[in-house]
Chains A and B, each alone.
Chain A
Amino acid sequence: MPLLAIAVLAAGTYAFRLAGPLLRDRVEVPGRLRRLLPAATAVLLTALAVTAALTEDGGFAGWARPAGVLAAGVLALRRAPFPVVVVAATAVTAALRLCGVP
């Protein structure tokens, strides 16, 4: 990863972040859009979580990783603390790979 690529990604990301705080006083976000934001956030996070769990390089990532993420999801539903959720995901995935599951 060349430094230039990191710099471009960083600059673009900062621009996305800064637009809201800078323009908020001048641009009025419509109420409808504002009400959609929490739902849109949840949709994006879910899609990112599921695609990151199931896919790699545009193909299936194997069973071990989604199984670990599923275990984490069950623990999160039972309101387990965040670190427990993360450790469970890696532990289940590692255990399955140890048993030969890809």
Chain B
Amino acid sequence: MRSLWRTIGRGTLRDIALVCLADALVGASFGAIAVSGGLPPWAPVAMSLLVFAGGAQFAALGVVLAGGDPLAAVASGLVLNARLLPFGFAVADALGGRLATRLPGAHLITDEVVAFVLARHGTRARRVTFWTCGLALFASWNLAVAGGALAGGAVGDVAALGLDAAFPAVLLALALPALRERVTRRAALYGTAAALAATPFLPAGLPVLLSLGGLAVPGSRPAAGRRGPGARPE
């Protein structure tokens, strides 16, 4: 434990714990929203264990609760999770070299873990951060979803509790540090505007992918050679 303390640092460990707590609140809201929307409690629990991606879970749940086709729910979840493909390359070194660690480790790749790992330098620090953050998030997210699903029937009206605001709030808090950089902020602004404009016309999930077009707008692309987080090869 002491070496863990030293490698990650007290500040980062505290940040990881706080993100786990925040995600637990979001997970509880996911479970409660699913069950109060008429799904059996095992559905949000199974989804959280097997999919383990908050954004896709909420997107798929939204389609199902709106009476949409399960196929559309799967499609919107997959489109949203396409970002995990580049994420996987970005943090691949942090999973460890052996197949036995890469196979289970891959399942732990999430927005939060990537944000923490990209902020660390040095293979050992990245590796310890990845596994600590990944396992802690997996445990807290799934326990919270199960708790929310069990309580969901009793809670009644989840909208009255404002639970639907928890998920976008935690995403925004994750994105804000990177938005301090002017170029990134501009790309996010253009991309988000495009996503919002497309939302009424495109199937759920696609507008968010469209936002990547914001990176192509002149003046919103990170300059070559800039040393941002993750810019260093190793």
Question: Whole-angstrom distance from the CB of B99 to the nearest CB of chain A?
Answer: 8
A50 touches B192 (CB 8 A): yes
Whole-angstrom distance between the alpha carbons of A94 and B159 in the complex? 7
Residues of A within 8 A of B175 (CB): 42, 45-46, 49
Question: Whole-angstrom distance from the CB of B58 to the nearest CB of chain A?
Answer: 7
In the complex, the number of residue pairs spanning A and B with C-beta atoms less than 8 Å apart equals 307
A38 touches B229 (CB 8 A): yes
Residues of A within 8 A of B118 (CB): 37-38, 41
* Nearest B-chain residue to A75, judged by Cβ: B173
Residues of B within 8 A of A89 (CB): 162, 165-166, 168-169
Contact partner of A35 (CB less than 8 A), chosen from B77, B176, B224, is B224
Question: Is there a chain A Cβ closer than 8 Å to B106's Cβ?
Answer: yes
Question: Is there a chain A Cβ closer than 8 Å to B21's Cβ?
Answer: yes
* Nearest A-chain residue to B111, judged by Cβ: A45
Question: Whole-angstrom distance from the CB of A15 to the nearest CB of chain B?
Answer: 9
Residues of A within 8 A of B199 (CB): 51, 55, 58
Most chain A CB within 10 A, of B39, B52, B191, B226, is at B191
B188 touches A52 (CB 8 A): no
Question: Is there a chain A Cβ closer than 8 Å to B156's Cβ?
Answer: no
B165 touches A69 (CB 8 A): yes
B86 touches A10 (CB 8 A): no
Question: Whole-angstrom distance from the CB of B64 to the nearest CB of chain A?
Answer: 5
Question: Whole-angstrom distance from the CB of A63 to the nearest CB of chain B?
Answer: 11
Residues of A within 8 A of B224 (CB): 32, 35
Residues of B within 8 A of A40 (CB): 83, 86, 212, 215
Contact partner of A43 (CB less than 8 A), chosen from B105, B159, B212, is B212
* Nearest B-chain residue to A37, judged by Cβ: B90
Where the two chains meet, the residues of A that have a C-beta atom closer than 8 Å to any C-beta of B are 1-10, 12-14, 16-24, 29, 31-59, 61, 64-65, 68-69, 72-73, 76-77, 81-83, 85-98
Known A-B contacts: A19-B88, A33-B86, A96-B162. Give 8 more (CB < 8 A): A7-B50, A10-B51, A13-B53, A16-B82, A20-B85, A49-B175, A50-B196, A86-B170
Q: List 29 A-B contacts (CB under 8 A).
A: A7-B50, A9-B56, A16-B78, A17-B85, A17-B109, A20-B87, A24-B92, A32-B224, A35-B231, A37-B86, A38-B118, A39-B181, A41-B114, A42-B184, A43-B184, A43-B192, A45-B111, A45-B172, A47-B195, A47-B214, A53-B165, A57-B62, A57-B66, A65-B162, A73-B172, A82-B18, A86-B170, A90-B25, A90-B29
